[in-house]
Amino acid sequence: MASPYSPTERRADSPLFDFSAAPKDKDDDGEELLDNVDLDAPAPNPDSGKDQSWRESSASSLSYASPSIASSSRPPLSTKSSAMSSTTVSTLLTSGGGPTPLVLGVAVVDFNHLIGPTVEFAYPPSLQLAIQDDEDWMRLLPFLALPDGAHLSEEDYSYFHCTYTPSGGQVPTDVPSSQTLFGISCNRQLASSELTRRPSDVTRSMVQKAVVVIASQPVFGPIRDKLGVVTRAYFAQRDFTQTEILEDFYTSLESSLEGKSNEGAIYIGTSLRELVHKFRHRTLVLLKLLMLQKRVMLYGYPVEKLCTYQYSLVSLIPGLLMSLKDSGSPDLDMKKTKVRPTSLRTSDRSSLLRYMGLPLQVFGKDSFFQPYMPLQQIHMLQAKSWLVGTTNQIVTHQKDCKYDLLVNIDTNTFEFTDPKIERLVTLTPADRKWMDDVVRTVEESWSLPEGERPGFKGSDDDLRSRFEEYICGALSSIKYADFLTKAKRQDISIVGVAGDGPILSPFSEHWIASFKSTPAYEIWNGCTDPALFDICEPRHPCEGKVNAVSDLGLRLAEGLHDLHLDQQLGPTRDALSSAFAAGSSSLFKAFDGVRSEVNTRLQQREEAQAQKTSKGTSTPPTTSTPPNTGKQMEDIKATLGGIGSGIGSFFGSRINTLRGGQTGAASAPTTITPSAGQTNSKDENGAKGLRPISLMGGSNANSSNTGSIGRFGGWGRGNSTGQ
């Protein structure tokens, strides 16, 4: 019985499988930028005895769960070939000599909770047969399409590179072998209870899948939005056996991308503005490391942002995105030699880049680029040079596959393992000045809406042209410095075309010397004219515009920005502001309560005295305190006790301690005997009423004998002295 995920006989006989009418690939006719920049034709397929150490080295050192689906209730992908008719196979065999399609196919990867991720669907049969033929590709594709941590988000995208290596037999497929294939996946998850048809192997509450598009060029930008729409619609069906929508998607995608494999279309999806805004001056540090062919690893989440940063960085080298066919594996080396151009059209940018030897071959033999690297490819880190991204900390902790730089995109930190490499890529004063202008251009328009930004200034095209000017100036300066050195050895006087100042020091002489030791420089130097500086001026874009004072200011400003004081002190500042506002409000309320209570007590006492006076009663002078004085003081004490609790947040335990220490004194009899020498007139003056004593105590040493209640917040009779 045929698999429910296999194409039917009706579809197998349809024109969808006839690739003879596929649109002509412009990469083969020599009209696009890729072939104007690429000076070599693709090398022939490697011999069958080629060293495959990168594929075999992991078998002995690392063991991973193989995504074999033999135990699954679903039929394995390999059984789908039984659904293909002889007509389909013959069609594929006869169309194998045509141009390579831009879109190679669509696949579905399912995360099976019993056996791990598997490829459960592939369309058209050309892609299906290629996946079946290459066991390594079938094993790795599920881990590339469903990255680690994919369950943390509702939807995410992964960009990755892979290769197809035939097993040796004649396979009727249009998938090119021994070159980089470019994949983009959109992964989502759905509650298994919402499925209208639930397979028997779905045992958990969530179902996680990814829809994958395999292409022959990195046209991720034009594909991404369409892939997201189709993936959401595929999940909305709630029945993953209905794959017609994916087959229609493949058919429409190939036609919609016709003519969009040029440089402008491939740049869609990259964001130089976001790259510069994220890393600021250190963007140039990353570019210098890339040109030195060092081992750079980016770590963080989400996966799409991780991949976008890397593609944006690679796009800084002119033409490199169009020349990534040998970047998917350390074994690939399609440009071993280059031919020096014999003609130049200065009005044609592609001709100019070709004459300048661009793009630099930074991903060649023993080097690779993997935007997202799963744990199953960790053995590839034994290569000498790479640029990779990962979301798994295990990959970052490999001692035998150590990186030169680890960039954490979550914390925006750079971690160098060798201080010498860090010094090699340290920015010069001219570099800092130039990058400061670039960063300022981006920051000035960063917060503006799309329609309010300046037309060209600060755009991705503007930034790309600036970095192109920097790279061309550095390469031209290298040729001019070599020319001056050769002339000096031959004792020939040269009239400087770039002034009398230093040629290489604005770019860093140590960085230039390290670059000249790389394989990329060896290939570039062999295919460029020695007098390259006649076409491009050998100078730094900011040469002669920097002094010691301005450079010091740039160092301080960027150092303070790297401290992230606004982010680190923000919570503390907010907490202090909230506490101050709350404390001020409580304090004002407490003092308002004290004043109101005191006014109320004084008013009540005056009314009581007025009533006694109206009844004709008088209080004769006596040597003792009136009998109601003790009760009034007790009432005031109780009132002040309640008020004290209201302002306790400001006086704290100190007030409670002091008041507690005077409890015995407060509980003493309230009848006070006047000291010797006091007269009746003084008693009369003292009996007129109570007055507040200072919060810090009485006004003199005798205040303790005048009936004061406490040193802090106490009330008592006034001292007779001076009355």
Yes or no: say if 159 and 311 are a contact pair by the CB < 8 Å rule: yes
Q: Are residues 417 and 305 in the same domain?
A: yes
What is the share, in percent, of the chain residues with pLDDT greater than 90?
A: 41
Q: Are residues 217 and 314 in the same domain?
A: no
The residues with which 385 forms a beta bridge, in sequence order, are 367
pLDDT band at 494 (very low <50, low <70, confident <90, very high): low
Task: Tell me how far apart the alpha carbons of residues 538 and 236 are, in angstroms, rounded to a whole number.
Answer: 58
Yes or no: say if 367 and 386 are a contact pair by the CB < 8 Å rule: yes
Of 72 and 329, the structure prediction assigns the larger pLDDT to 329
Measured CA distances, 88 to 35, 76, 129, 243, 247 (Å): 33, 20, 12, 19, 16
Pairing of β 690-692 and β 413-416: unpaired
Of 674 and 552, the structure prediction assigns the larger pLDDT to 552
Task: Tell me how far apart the alpha carbons of residues 179 and 71 are, in angstroms, rounded to a whole number.
Answer: 33
Q: Are residues 360 and 242 in the same domain?
A: no
Report the run of H or E that residue 106 belongs to, with start and end.
strand 103-112
Q: Is residue 40 part of a domain?
A: no
Count of domains for the chain? 2
- Rounded to 5 degrees, φ, ψ at 430 are -70, -35
Over the stretch 288-331, which tens digit does the pLDDT of each residue have? 999 999 999 999 999 999 999 999 999 999 999 999 999 999 99
Task: List all residues 6 or more positions away from 421 whose beta carbon is below 8 Å from its beta carbon.
Answer: 289, 294, 404, 405
Of 693 and 461, the structure prediction assigns the larger pLDDT to 461
pLDDT band at 399 (very low <50, low <70, confident <90, very high): confident
Q: Is residue 30 part of a domain?
A: no
Report the run of H or E that residue 298 belongs to, with start and end.
strand 295-299
Six-digit token string for 215: 């292409």
Q: Are residues 257 and 284 in the same domain?
A: no
Q: Is residue 670 part of a domain?
A: no
The whole-chain average pLDDT of the chain stands at: 75
Q: Label each residue of 307-320 as H, E or C.
A: HHHHHHHHCCCCCH
Q: Are residues 148 and 209 in the same domain?
A: yes
Q: Is the pLDDT of residue 615 over 90?
A: no
Pairing of β 405-408 and β 295-299: parallel
Instruction: Say which range, 103-112, 205-214, 558-567, 614-623, has the weakest mean pLDDT.
Output: 614-623
Dihedral sign computed on CA atoms, order 699, 702, 707, 710: positive
Best-predicted range by mean pLDDT among 360-364, 559-563, 597-601?
A: 360-364
Q: Is the pLDDT of residue 70 over 50?
A: no
559: exposed, middle or buried (Cβ count in 10 Å: 0-12, 13-18, 19+)? exposed
Q: Are residues 292 and 256 in the same domain?
A: no
- Quick one: pLDDT at residue 453? 80
Q: Are residues 382 and 526 in the same domain?
A: yes
- Quick one: pLDDT at residue 58? 41
Cα of first residue to Cα of last residue in the chain, in angstroms, is: 117
- Quick one: pLDDT at residue 22? 37
The mean pLDDT of 164-168, rounded to a whole number, is 89
pLDDT band at 358 (very low <50, low <70, confident <90, very high): very high
pLDDT band at 459 (very low <50, low <70, confident <90, very high): very high
Instruction: Say which range, 352-361, 417-426, 645-654, has the weakest mean pLDDT.
Output: 645-654
- Rounded to 5 degrees, φ, ψ at 233 are -70, -35
Between 565-614 and 548-563, two packed helices, what is the crossing angle to 10 degrees?
60
pLDDT band at 606 (very low <50, low <70, confident <90, very high): confident
Place of tokens 């002119």: 318
Alpha helices in 397-428 (DSSP H): 419-424
Of 206 and 391, the structure prediction assigns the larger pLDDT to 391
Of 501, 534, 567, the last residue of a domain is: 534
The mean pLDDT of 261-286, rounded to a whole number, is 92
Q: Is residue 664 part of a domain?
A: no
- Quick one: pLDDT at residue 678? 44
E-only strand ranges, 126-280: 155-163, 180-191, 206-215
Of 240, 267, 294, the last residue of a domain is: 267
Q: Are residues 172 and 125 in the same domain?
A: yes
Task: List all residues 6 or more positions away from 631 whose beta carbon is below 8 Å from its beta carbon.
Answer: none
Over the stretch 707-716, which tens digit does the pLDDT of each residue have? 444 434 444 4
Measured CA distances, 121 to 183, 226, 689 (Å): 15, 19, 98
Dihedral sign computed on CA atoms, order 680, 684, 687, 690: negative
Over the stretch 515-574, which tens digit does the pLDDT of each residue have? 999 999 999 999 999 989 989 999 999 876 665 556 566 556 656 555 555 555 556 666
Number of Cβ atoms within 10 Å of the Cβ of 307: 23
Q: Are residues 314 and 408 in the same domain?
A: yes
Q: Is residue 649 part of a domain?
A: no
**Domain harbouring 382, CATH code:** 3.40.50.11500
Dihedral sign computed on CA atoms, order 682, 685, 690, 691: negative
Task: Tell me how far apart the alpha carbons of residues 438 and 280 are, in angstroms, rounded to a whole number.
Answer: 9
Of 240 and 594, the structure prediction assigns the larger pLDDT to 240
Q: Are residues 184 and 121 in the same domain?
A: yes
Q: Is residue 600 part of a domain?
A: no
Q: Are residues 224 and 120 in the same domain?
A: yes
Best-predicted range by mean pLDDT among 121-130, 609-618, 653-662?
A: 121-130
Best-predicted range by mean pLDDT among 10-19, 28-37, 100-109?
A: 100-109
Q: Is residue 515 part of a domain?
A: yes
Six-digit token string for 506: 């604005």
Yes or no: say if 370 and 383 are a contact pair by the CB < 8 Å rule: no
Q: Is the pLDDT of residue 381 over 50?
A: yes
The mean pLDDT of 489-507, rounded to a whole number, is 73
Yes or no: say if 105 and 127 are a contact pair by the CB < 8 Å rule: yes
Q: Residue 218: name the closest of 330, 369, 407 by CA.
A: 369
3-state helix, strand, coil in the chain (%, to 5): 50, 10, 40
Instruction: Say which range, 269-283, 374-388, 494-508, has the weakest mean pLDDT.
Output: 494-508
Strand, helix or coil for residue 81: helix
- Quick one: pLDDT at residue 184? 97
Of 225, 251, 267, the last residue of a domain is: 267
Q: Are residues 263 and 281 in the same domain?
A: no
DSSP state of 187: E
- Quick one: pLDDT at residue 180? 95
Q: Is residue 403 part of a domain?
A: yes
- Quick one: pLDDT at residue 443? 92
With vertex at residue 207, the alpha carbon angle to CA 202 and CA 209, rounded to the nearest 5 degrees, is: 120
pLDDT band at 340 (very low <50, low <70, confident <90, very high): confident
The mean pLDDT of 198-211, rounded to a whole number, is 82
pLDDT band at 257 (very low <50, low <70, confident <90, very high): confident
Task: Tell me how far apart the alpha carbons of residues 557 and 197 are, in angstroms, rounded to a whole number.
Answer: 60
Task: Tell me how far apart the alpha carbons of residues 132 and 137 are, in angstroms, rounded to a whole number.
Answer: 8
- Structural domain span for residue 174: 103-267
**Domain harbouring 208, CATH code:** 3.30.450
Task: Tell me how far apart the alpha carbons of residues 174 and 503 are, in angstroms, rounded to a whole number.
Answer: 50
Six-digit token string for 663: 């409890």
Strand, helix or coil for residue 614: helix
- Quick one: pLDDT at residue 691? 45
The mean pLDDT of 37-62, rounded to a whole number, is 42
Task: Tell me how far apart the alpha carbons of residues 135 and 130 are, in angstroms, rounded to a whole number.
Answer: 9
One-letter amino acid for residue 190 of the chain = L
The mean pLDDT of 382-408, rounded to a whole number, is 91
The mean pLDDT of 225-250, rounded to a whole number, is 94
pLDDT band at 493 (very low <50, low <70, confident <90, very high): low
